[in-house]
Structure 1
Amino acid sequence: MSVARSGPDPVDEHGKTRAALRATAPRLARLLRDVPDLGAPSGVPVWTVGDVGAHVGAVYLAYCSAFTHEFDDWDSVLPPGDVPFVERITSVNARSIGLFDADGRGRLGDFVAERGETFLRATEGLAPDTPVVTPWYGEGMVLTLAAATGLVLSESLLHGLDIARGAGLPWTIGPEEARLVIGQAMPTMMPLALDTARARGIGIAFDLAVRGGPRLAVVIGDGTATVTRDAPPRAYDCRISAAPAAFLLVAFRRTPLWKAVARGRIRAGGRKPWLAPRLGRLITGP
């Protein structure tokens, strides 16, 4: 697997992602404080609103700890051995919600607000390509700070939606926020989330054109994936044009593909437009 990048100024885009996270973390904290019933079903199957909140708290704790080292009991949340990516993340997610007991869940709003400020303060002035150790993604796994910041933003936005849906409260994901997640986090995470068994023997090149940017070349070939931002011209099998928030919600299975297509928010073209749904089946998630 490999990730190639080009396009906008990485320092500028990283700054915009930090600004978006600086605005989103307090919004998420307020949402958590306003939840009337943490035991209510959420937008995530099996999990309650409190479970989703605990997961978000664990996300903030993990990324903060990459710099503050306040949490180091990884044996309590990481599965043993080298397991496939999706299986590993599923296991980590299931274990991590146990890090917050009933009292801790009642203070999740304050926890997220505090750790959001801590993460931004600890990473202030660091270059976008600063390495961030992320053992929950795999043994020895290291991401760039730009990707890590994009992922914290992604988790905040998407799980904020899950919490809001369960609690019956408002929550929005703006197009610029979605563009930042797609541009900063997805080029790194899409190759990791490839279903290598399903992709074996397959060769498909997708031109993913997010309206207003970014543009991703997603090339899948015999069990590997390469994602390139704003790639040079080349031949593609399928072109996907998508509104940013719609693509984010479909990619993370918060909205069905048919609904986004029916509303004109995702369209397929190119030589083989019928291949478009295969992208979501090849790039999987827990």
Structure 2
Amino acid sequence: MGTVTTFDPVTEHERARAALAAAIPRLVGLLRAVPDPDAESGVPVWSVGDVGTHLAAVYLAYTALVSPETATEWKDVLASAEGALTGGTFVERITAMNARSVTLFGREERAGTADFVAERGETFLRVTEGLAPDTPVSAPWYGDVPFTLATVTGLMLSETLVHGLDIARGARLPWPIGRDEARLVLGQSMPTMMAAALDPVKARGVRIAFDLAIEGGPRLAVVVDDGTATVTRDAPRRAYDCRIVADPVTFLLVSFRRTPVWKAVASGRMRAGGRRPWLAARLGRLVAGP
């Protein structure tokens, strides 16, 4: 079953903060370099400008969660996003939030997206400096999902990296994602988000234990048990049904539906093993996405 690695949550969170601090100016530069905001992006339904606006909304939202000086009344902001605050599945909530996000900034306000992202990114890092990674954070549109500061930091980094790629693809500009950056996203936010995004209908009656080994770390035990899932870092040894070994950048992009699974497998960047390797394909179907 291989060696179980260990990690220091405080050190890893500081590394995630440093990665975010380095990624923000890259994103700001990318937003300023976009030649045509109306060009198609890496997200089929959004233009490059829409993705930039979504990112500004993300930075608005996550900074507001941790900063008293930018506190937001979400009932007012999300008044037109039916299902974002009440009811619905996890995916329905996120879909509603995403749809609302691209309307938060008007046409003229979009010209200031880069400056807004720079300012809110600096605020997020400043007000969270020195806070413990397990500090609880409440994100109303995610419902009862138990968020921590580490989760939010990882999500901000993932949004920056993945949507930066969406913008770069549409603008035909370079946007490298480092393996260490991807590892930090997967370690900080994936344990929470994979469990929350499980499709309870598809997972009803399903009992599978996955050993998800990201090259260079982290290592996650993903256990699906009749409609629920737990995702654990550095889990004790146990018998797994399926082991998945993946390159960190590849798994990040597969998780966000930016790279097809078949391409990851064909390139050798994702491999399945264990007693029942054919179950690997089910993980992506069980964990939903908007």
Q: Which amino acid aligns with 1:25?
A: I
Q: CA deviation at 1:79?
A: 2.9
Give 5+ residue unaligned stretches, structure 1.
1-5
Say which SS state the counterpart of residue 201 (structure 2) adopts: helix
Give the aligned CA root-mean-square deviation in angstroms. 1.2
- Residue equivalent to 1:208: 212
Say whether residues 1:280 and 2:279 are aligned partners. Answer: no
- Of 6-15 and 231-240, more deviation after overlay is shown by 6-15
Distance 1:263 1:196 in 2: 31
Distance 1:65 1:31 in 2: 24
- Of 64-73 and 164-173, more deviation after overlay is shown by 64-73
- Residue equivalent to 2:107: 102
Q: Which amino acid aligns with 2:237?
A: P
Equivalent pair of 1:62/1:71 in contact (CA under 8 Å): no
Distance 2:128 2:46 in 1: 31
Distance 1:142 1:281 in 2: 23
Alignment partner for residue 178 of structure 1, among 179, 182, 188? 182
Distance 2:171 2:91 in 1: 28
Say which SS state the counterpart of residue 216 (structure 1) adopts: strand
Q: CA deviation at 1:143?
A: 1.1
Equivalent pair of 1:199/1:224 in contact (CA under 8 Å): yes
Q: CA deviation at 1:145?
A: 0.5
Say which SS state the counterpart of residue 79 (structure 1) adopts: coil
The count of residues paired between Structure 1 and Structure 2 equals 280
Equivalent pair of 1:135/1:141 in contact (CA under 8 Å): no
Q: CA deviation at 1:58?
A: 0.6
Q: Which amino acid aligns with 2:9?
A: P
TM-score between both structures, scaled by the size of structure 1:
0.95
- Residue equivalent to 1:133: 138
Q: Which amino acid aligns with 2:63?
A: C
Say whether residues 1:28 and 2:27 are aligned partners. Answer: yes
Distance 1:74 1:142 in 2: 18
Distance 1:193 1:100 in 2: 28
Alignment partner for residue 228 of structure 2, among 216, 224, 231? 224
Distance 1:97 1:68 in 2: 22
Say whether residues 1:198 and 2:164 are aligned partners. Answer: no
Equivalent pair of 1:179/1:244 in contact (CA under 8 Å): yes
Say which SS state the counterpart of residue 252 (structure 2) adopts: helix
Give 5+ residue unaligned stretches, structure 2.
none
- Residue equivalent to 1:93: 98
- Residue equivalent to 2:247: 243
Distance 1:90 1:67 in 2: 23
Alignment partner for residue 266 of structure 1, among 257, 266, 270? 270
Say which SS state the counterpart of residue 240 (structure 2) adopts: coil
Q: CA deviation at 1:171?
A: 0.2
- Residue equivalent to 1:146: 150
Distance 1:59 1:45 in 2: 19
Distance 1:178 1:241 in 2: 14
Distance 2:146 2:223 in 1: 22
- Residue equivalent to 1:54: 53
Distance 2:141 2:164 in 1: 21
Counting aligned pairs with the same residue, the percent is 66
Say which SS state the counterpart of residue 204 (structure 1) adopts: strand
- Of 64-73 and 247-256, more deviation after overlay is shown by 64-73
Say whether residues 1:72 and 2:72 are aligned partners. Answer: yes
Distance 1:32 1:123 in 2: 25
CA distance 1:215–1:142, shift in 2 (3 Å): closer
Q: Which amino acid aligns with 1:57?
A: A
Say which SS state the counterpart of residue 102 (structure 1) adopts: coil
Q: Which amino acid aligns with 2:164?
A: G
